[in-house]
Amino acid sequence: MKEIVVISGKGGTGKTSLVAAFACLADRPVLADCDVDAADLYLVLEPHILRQEDFSGGKQAKIISERCDGCGICMEVCRFDAVKKDIHPDNPGQMKYIIDPIACEGCGVCVYFCPQKAIDFDPPINGKWFISDTRVGPMVHARLGIAEENSGKLVTLVRSEARRIAEENGHPYLLVDGPPGIGCPVIASITGADLVVVVTEPTVSGEHDLDRVHKLSSHFGVPTVVCINKHDINPEVTERIFEESRKNDMPVVGKIRYDNSFTKAQIMKSSVIEYTHGPVVEDVKETWAGILGAL
């Protein structure tokens, strides 16, 4: 089984649309949507959910006010500015301490040092993850709760479930829709993969992001190839990306023309392969062939 992770640096380069298109071309793929912050693949693949589980990332501290005597130690030890104090509503002579759940990092230091044992420390439910069936194959996806941390952990979970399904059922490919950026969720998506495909655009930002993403994938020793989307909006930058990629041992495996069929396909909840027979489909097919060639 080969695991292919599609990422993009910034996002918004057509990554998810391309994953949906590759899914239609691949031989019996399993899909994993690891862009858990902005999970969009389901809008095209319309999964039928077979199994649903709660995800719990880290713990969160909560002061039980009946037990708190207002000593203020929690505020003193918290390094994340998460403990707030206010005049006690029932007793103006005393301070009332509360923890801002959004600022709380879940480190548990206040819990340990509270002399009254007045702080609860439970793992809240931070999201859900799903195993589903789609028209192109099984899919593992997730929804991270609003303003939650630990998306890296959720990414790892989604990936390993998808891997398990692919291995147990002899699927030849696992296609991962990766998150944007180069931080914790991206690191969680690419480590140990067989191939990273970076979808970029010929813009100065695209170039800049590609460079950072490439440094990241080489840092983790994952072979990397590039796909230039909308290559015709700036031929000059496209040419530069070709050259840079050659130098950096990160071959360009395909370029795809600017075509609003991608948007139209999205509106029809289909991939561009299902939506049109236009020339852009040839670009996508060639890119997919290039990816298989690089494996």
Identity of the residue numbered 38 = A
Binding mask 239-278 for other proteins (x = CB under 8 A): ------------------------x--xx-x---------
Between CA 69 and CA 274 the distance in angstroms is 65
Binding mask 127-146 for other proteins (x = CB under 8 A): -----------------x-x
The total of other beta-carbon atoms located within 10 Å of residue 254's CB is 23
Report the run of H or E that residue 5 belongs to, with start and end.
strand 2-7
Taking CB within 5 to 8 Å according to partner kind, which of ligand SF4, other proteins, none is near residue 72? ligand SF4
> Does residue 141 contact residue 32 with C-beta atoms inside 8 Å?
yes
Question: Min. distance of Cβ 115 from ligand SF4 in angstroms?
Answer: 6
The residue among 166 and 186 lying less far from other proteins, judged by its C-beta, is 186
The residue among 77 and 292 lying less far from ligand SF4, judged by its C-beta, is 77
Taking CB within 5 to 8 Å according to partner kind, which of other proteins, ligand SF4, none is near residue 37? other proteins
The token pair that represents 159 in the structure block: 């990936």
User: Cα–chain-centroid distance for residue 32?
Assistant: 10
Question: Min. distance of Cβ 145 from ligand SF4 in angstroms?
Answer: 17
> Does residue 213 contact residue 206 with C-beta atoms inside 8 Å?
no
105 counts as binding other proteins under rule CB under 8 A: yes
216 counts as binding other proteins under rule CB under 8 A: yes
What is residue 221's three-state secondary structure?
A: coil
Instruction: Return the ∠ at Cα 135 (arms to 132 and 139), rounded to 5°.
Output: 30
Report the run of H or E that residue 122 belongs to, with start and end.
strand 119-122
Q: Residue 135 carries which DSSP code?
A: T
* Chain positions contacting ligand SF4, by CB under 6 A: 61, 63, 68-74, 77-78, 80, 82-83, 97, 99, 104-110, 114, 116, 118-119
Taking CB within 5 to 8 Å according to partner kind, which of other proteins, ligand SF4, none is near residue 272? none
Question: Min. distance of Cβ 158 from ligand SF4 in angstroms?
Answer: 25
